[in-house]
Amino acid sequence: MRASSQAWRRWFGVLFLALAFAMLVWGQTVLKPHLDGKAYLIYWLCCFGFTFAAIFTALIDLRATRRQTQIDQTELVEKTLKEFEPVEKPRSTDPKS
């Protein structure tokens, strides 16, 4: 499940970034003469919206990746420490010792 949610976050980030980039290119080339007034404002607000959505998705992904890295590191330290715990010798019931 971890890899699945990470993949979804990354795909959404790429999608938002691609949409913002496509809107930037189209807005500066093909649509430039047609955008004026309210259409201009709405178009560029949508472009900024996709840009901020990409940034927000990246921040969420960064936070989740940091959290998972911290969990993995803690588990690794605990596993390593368990491997090096001293093994107690069983006590003998022999009266000679």
CB 47 within 8 A of CB 39: no
What pLDDT, in 10s, does the model give residues 53-96?
Answer: 999 999 999 999 999 999 999 999 999 888 887 667 666 666 66
* CB proximity list for 51: less than 8 A, separation 6 or greater: 16, 17, 20
Which strand (E) or helix (H) includes residue 5? Answer: helix 2-28
CB 44 within 8 A of CB 27: yes
What pLDDT, in 10s, does the model give residues 27-49?
Answer: 999 999 999 999 999 999 999 99
For helices 38-83 and 2-28, what crossing angle results, to 10°?
150
**C-beta atoms surrounding 57 within 10 Å:** 20
- The verdict on pTM exceeding 0.95 is no
pLDDT value at position 84? 80
